[in-house]
Every structure is written in structure tokens, then in C-alpha cells.
Amino acid sequence: MPLVARIILEGAAVLIVLGGLYDLFMLRLPANLIVTCGGHEPASRLVRELLRALGAALAAIGLAVAVLVAGYGLQNRRETLLLVLLLVIPSEGVNSFCMYRAGSPFYIPLAFVLLILLGVLLAWPGFIH
């Protein structure tokens, strides 16, 4: 795998993990979600816990991508890259879409998807010699 592709993929995986950890360890809801909950404490608590669950899932996906890119799937590079896409595009794509609908900064997870797409394109066998 070309070094630049590995750096992009590993970097994106780390960013996905960090984003997931941010959601997981968030103490208070962002202001836009508090407004959406209308000051209703049980709804705010539910949204905060769902955000934590999402964060844990995204951190696990980022960690799985990092492990795959680190070398566990290099023997079958195409299958590994397809698996990376299968992990990241639905998870971060839906995350980005839902953040857009909630008025949150959706461009962050969207940037993660674009980084992964760029890394996979550069790592694809035969794309760069």
C-alpha cells in the first residue's frame, strides 16, 4: 500500500476514533440539541445517552479501520479496502446526514468519509504504481 494512502487512511481512522470519543465523553449536550429538546430533562438525558452510544460505535469503527489498514488485511488489499468503505461510509454518512438535520456541524463526519474515499482510491491496487 502506498505510504500516502496509509497515512491518509490511518489519519482518518484516528479522527473517527477521536470524534467517537468526543461524543462518548461529552458531559453536556450541545446548545442546538438542548434547544431541540425544549428544556425537557428526560428528553435531554435520552439524547445525551444516545449520543454516547453513537460515540462508542464510531470509536469502535475507527479502531477497526485502523487495525485493518495497519496490516491485518494487506494480503487481500481489495477486500480490506472494500471492508473499510463498508464500515465508514454508512456510519459516518448517516452521522453526517443526521447532524445536518439536527443543525450540527455535519461537515466534520463528511470530511472523514471524503478522507477515507481518497485513501482507498490511492491505495487501490494498480491505481498508483
The span from the CA of 43 to the CA of 33, in Å, is 10
Residue 40 lies in a domain: yes
pLDDT of residue 2: 84
What's the mean per-residue pLDDT of the chain? Answer: 91
pLDDT of residue 73: 59
Tell me, yes or no, whether 27 lies in a domain.
yes
Predicted TM-score of the model (pTM): 0.91
Give residue 91's domain range: 3-123
As a whole number of angstroms, the distance between CA 88 and CA 15 comes to: 12
What percentage of the chain exceeds 90 in pLDDT? Answer: 71
Q: Express each pLDDT in 13-46 by its tens digit.
A: 999 999 999 999 998 888 888 888 888 899 999 9
Could you tell me which residues come within 8 angstroms of residue 64 by beta carbon, excluding any fewer than 6 positions away? 87
Residue at 129 is within a domain: no
Non-local CB neighbours of 82 within 8 Å, separated by 6+ positions: none
- For 54-76, b where at least 16 C-beta lie within 10 A, e where not — what string? bbeebbebbebbbebbeeebeee
For helices 41-67 and 3-24, give the axis angle rounded to 10 degrees.
160
Residue 110 lies inside a defined structural domain of this protein = yes
Residue 121 has pLDDT above 90, yes or no: yes
Q: Distance between CA atoms of 26 and 63, rounded to whole angstroms? A: 19
Residue 29 counted as domain residue: yes
pLDDT above 90 for 98:
yes
What is the count of structural domains for the chain? 1
